Chain A
């Protein structure tokens, strides 16, 4: 079923238009890799979906419900969780407390349609099981973690809200190759869980290995949208660097 539908989305940063007329759908269980150069609008698109950036035009629908006007914190309850670039943990809170902040305040009342969405059934216990690293570090202040540990905490913090749609923004950025492997290994449990995932990843190789679908963004527009099997590496690279972009989806 269609989990996320984006229609004619326009997002501006002041006078700059970062996302132009983007249409995109994501189904439950799909892993969509958003690729594109720096400044192509990938992160902006994720933040607009998560509700932390205002939308100039267009709509964002989650499970058929228009959430364009819903504030970010309520979208979490509706089923959208974002793991932001740079992790952005709460440094004054311990690892466990960082996870617990992500737990919804009350039972999900008033989100009837949204709660019907397929979710992974995540909670704090399952996160600690899936990320043994976090169980070991549970009482350590988040400000004292290494990059990989921070990333695991950030992913865990997003998961405890039991999202239907998980948005991952540059989860490998600034991590050692070994740490990236650890992070992606732990993501497999998430990806297998049936939730929809949109990931922004600089590492095209890794993105192609993980994703079921690849969407290329160039200057705020979707230039390619293909299933992974049909994704030709060279073609993606071309889209990435903005050469020969006349091909539309």
Chain B
């Protein structure tokens, strides 16, 4: 029973990781850049929402809306100001720049908000739950999982069914040729980065609503998101969801076995997948001429 409970809670936890992973995977897939500040951007959104709601007294929905719009703008600025400009001696220089940004965001938040853990107060909804067959399911974690599934579905539909999605995939395949058929690669990158950072903001807010947040929690979110992406298999949004759930379950079951080793159990599952199925659990066998 405890194990079944842990599996259910782990699945719900996976929703949170999937939200973080969606944006990370989007930027990596299209721009081929790993945004090492992805987790910190989520935490930035979380603290912004906490600040607006608890500090400035804005209604919660308004605060969240303002922050999400703000994060889209931050994402656009991140591309225009940083990713599009870093051309250095090394191709990885833009990734190094995002690491610098991660250090800046985390430590600035720590100075401004102190190291105290905080949470986004959702009132009674935050603690409400239903009990199904002896297992309690929190409404909030369930809602987060639903939002994650909705976000991944929406992303999938946009990428496969719309003209914008075709341009994104064409740019991801080959930006120079995309330009030759009339696609503005730079603009595509900018919109993709904005979307990804918006998703990071959504993930950060979901995280802050579900548990206590500290200013330096960004790197761990980044790592979990990354593990979800690799476990599931790169380039597959459904893989990302599966990876996130596997990671959540591993952590949650690990904590049942030994309360202090949940995170370690997640890492070990990641390493095990890397050792045995490096292309991820849901990797499609590549069919390419």
A interface residues, Cβ below 8 angstroms from B: 50-52, 71-74, 76-77, 81-82, 84, 88, 90-93, 97-98, 100-105, 141, 143-146, 157-158, 161
Contact = CB atoms under 8 A, between A and B. Distances in A.
B179 A52 contact: yes
Nearest to A161: B182
A90 B289 contact: no
23 contacts: A52-B179, A72-B179, A73-B178, A73-B179, A73-B183, A73-B185, A74-B182, A76-B180, A81-B180, A81-B181, A82-B180, A90-B173, A90-B177, A92-B173, A93-B169, A93-B173, A97-B169, A102-B182, A105-B167, A141-B287, A144-B289, A157-B181, A158-B181
What bracket does the count of chain B residues touching chain A fall in?
A: 20 to 34
B176 interface: yes
A157 B170 CA distance: 12
Contacts of A144: 287-289
Contacts of A104: 182
A50 B181 CA distance: 10
Contacts of A81: 180-181
B191 to A, nearest CB: 12
Given A73-B180, A146-B289, 4 more contacts: A73-B185, A76-B180, A76-B182, A141-B287
Contacts of B288: 91, 143-144
A73 B184 contact: yes
Contact of A93 (B166, B179, B180): B166
Nearest to B182: A76
Contacts, number: 76
Nearest to B188: A73
A40 B192 CA distance: 39
Contacts of A72: 179-180
A98 B289 CA distance: 16
A90 B180 contact: no
B60 to A, nearest CB: 37
Contacts of B287: 141, 143-144
B174 A101 contact: no
Interface string B273-289: 00000000000000111
A91 B173 contact: yes
B289 A145 contact: yes
Nearest to A88: B177
A84 B166 contact: no
Contact of B181 (A102, A143, A145): A102
A51 B182 CA distance: 11
A143 B167 CA distance: 17
Contacts of A50: 180
A120 B174 CA distance: 27
